[in-house]
Amino acid sequence: DIAGEYVEIYNNTFLGNKPPYTMRGVPTSHQYFYFNIVYNPRTAFSENSLKRDNVTIGYNIWNLQAGNTKPTYDLNNGS
């Protein structure tokens, strides 16, 4: 399924226990997730919930619940 041309998610704060976002399709160009703050650690989410084709996950602050305030670069799965 196609999820439009592109998706850019940045400068957000996600305080819930669910993944910060879910996609029902794959953008034709790119999908970026960067400069966000996420309450849970990166390891709390399965790879499949965030890692898809054309995805780049850049610098984000993960694990705010533990007091982390340091941005980390997580993975780059972009094409």
Structural domains counted in the chain: 1
pLDDT tens, N- to C-terminus, the chain (79 residues): 787 899 899 999 999 988 888 777 888 998 898 999 999 998 887 666 666 677 888 899 999 999 999 999 876 544 3
Distance in angstroms (rounded) separating the CA atoms of residues 40 and 18:
9
Is 73 part of any domain? yes
CB atoms within 10 A of CB 78: 13
Is 14 part of any domain? yes
Is 48 part of any domain? yes
Write down the pLDDT at residue 79.
39
Is 70 part of any domain? yes
Is 1 part of any domain? no
Q: Which domain holds residue 44?
A: 6-77
Is 56 part of any domain? yes
Residues 6 or more apart from 70 whose CB is under 8 A from it? Answer: 61
Q: Mind giving me the DSSP string for 61-79?
A: EE-GGGT----EEEEEE--
Helices (H) and strands (E) in the chain, counts: 1, 6
Is 28 part of any domain? yes
